[in-house]
Amino acid sequence: MRSIHASVHQRAQWISNDSEVIDIPSYDKVFDWQSLMNKASHDVDHLKGKGQVASYIPELANVNPKQFGASMVTVDGSIFSVGDATVPFSIQSVSKAFSLMLAMTYVHDDLWDHVGREPSGNPFNSLIQLEHENGIPRNPFINAGAIVVTDVLQKHCTTACMLSPSSSPRRHIDGASDAVLELLQSLTSNDSIAVDEAVAASEKKTGHRNYSLTHFMASCGNILNPVDVVLDEYFKQCSIAMNCTDLSKVGVLLARQGRDEHGNRLLDAKIAKRIQAIMMTCGTYDAAGEIAYRIGLPCKSGVGGGILAIFPRVGAVTVWSPGLDSFGNSVAGVAFLDQLTKRSGFSVF
């Protein structure tokens, strides 16, 4: 069983391929992550299967709520897993962190002309705030904001993914959702990751509120592409199916401040920092304050039951359990991360 050890009297140094020395903060204890994951999973046994699945998306109503899995990928590539960590699930709004990554890479701070960076204080699909603020969504993780990000990405992503490792084969990108998909495939070396077309069709059939949001933003001049095109890409992006381990392999890019495990720069460090900041303040729907209080890590959740949590400069953890609380966050998933941070003593605070 592997563990990661570092002392506060030392600093781990990571040498990148361009000879830049990167300091990694270190901690005066041994983290036996597999044991910690096992114990945190046991701590929440009584919550597995609790909550309600996202039945407003008909395909997700059929998911077994008793499933539970979690996986951690550390900055050195070590993997620690429990439960159903290799079972694919609909990542839903977790995908918004990755579309934001790409959009910020293409257009940088120009993105913020179209979407804000503040917590909304309203449900993720609210129309009221959007109308009050003239079609500019409060942040990129509520539905309206994520649709704007998809719209921007749709305009700019006609070439191969800019964040793919140099060793990855490059290909033409067919729309915003394909850009997100290629990013996920390339960072995991898993070409089997795909859009669940049945879920995408289900979302399109029942996505009346998202159509309303997008048409309103278009009426305000804040949508660049045809509404139907943008929403098709958005629904497909949210319907990508992945497992916990692969999601953590992608998320660890943020934990490494934008570098791959060999030290190659894939994502600007400033973008990595800013995405994690928005994950902390806006990443868990209208419960971001409570999640920050309990867990103390940047997180992005989805109504498929997944939560991606970033342990900066240590690793990424994805937990999946389909039963949701009233905010749309996994009941067992939130509790698992709470226990994992309590047992490890790790948070950003």
DSSP code per residue over 114-141: T---S--SS-TT-SHHHHHTTT--S-TT
Return all residues near 270 (Cβ < 8 A) that are at least 6 apart.
Answer: none
CA–CA dist 289, 101 (Å, integer): 23
The residue type found at 246 is D
Q: What is the pTM of this model?
A: 0.90
Length in residues, the chain: 349
Q: What is the pLDDT along the chain (349 residues), one digit of tens a residue?
A: 344 433 333 334 444 444 454 444 444 456 899 999 999 999 999 999 999 999 999 999 999 999 999 999 999 999 999 999 999 999 999 999 999 999 999 999 999 999 999 998 776 667 888 988 899 999 999 999 999 999 999 998 865 555 655 555 556 788 999 999 999 999 999 999 999 999 999 999 999 999 999 999 999 999 999 999 999 999 999 999 999 999 999 999 999 999 998 899 999 999 999 999 999 999 999 999 999 999 999 999 999 999 999 999 999 999 999 999 999 999 999 999 999 999 999 999 9
Name all contacts of 224-227 with Cβ < 8 Å and 24+ positions apart.
224/151, 224/152, 224/154, 224/155, 225/151, 225/154, 225/155
Q: Are 22 and 330 in contact (CB under 8 A)?
A: no
164: number of Cβ within 10 Å:
17
In sequence order, what E strands does the chain have?
4-6, 12-15, 21-24, 29-31, 69-74, 79-83, 89-90, 194-195, 240-242, 299-301, 306-311, 315-320
pLDDT in tens, 115-157: 999 998 776 667 888 988 899 999 999 999 999 999 999 998 8
Cβ proximity of 41 and 337 under 8 Å: no
310: three-class secondary structure by DSSP:
strand
Write down the residue that tokens 């953590």 correspond to.
Answer: 248
Distance from C-alpha of 276 to C-alpha of 267, rounded to nearest angstrom: 13
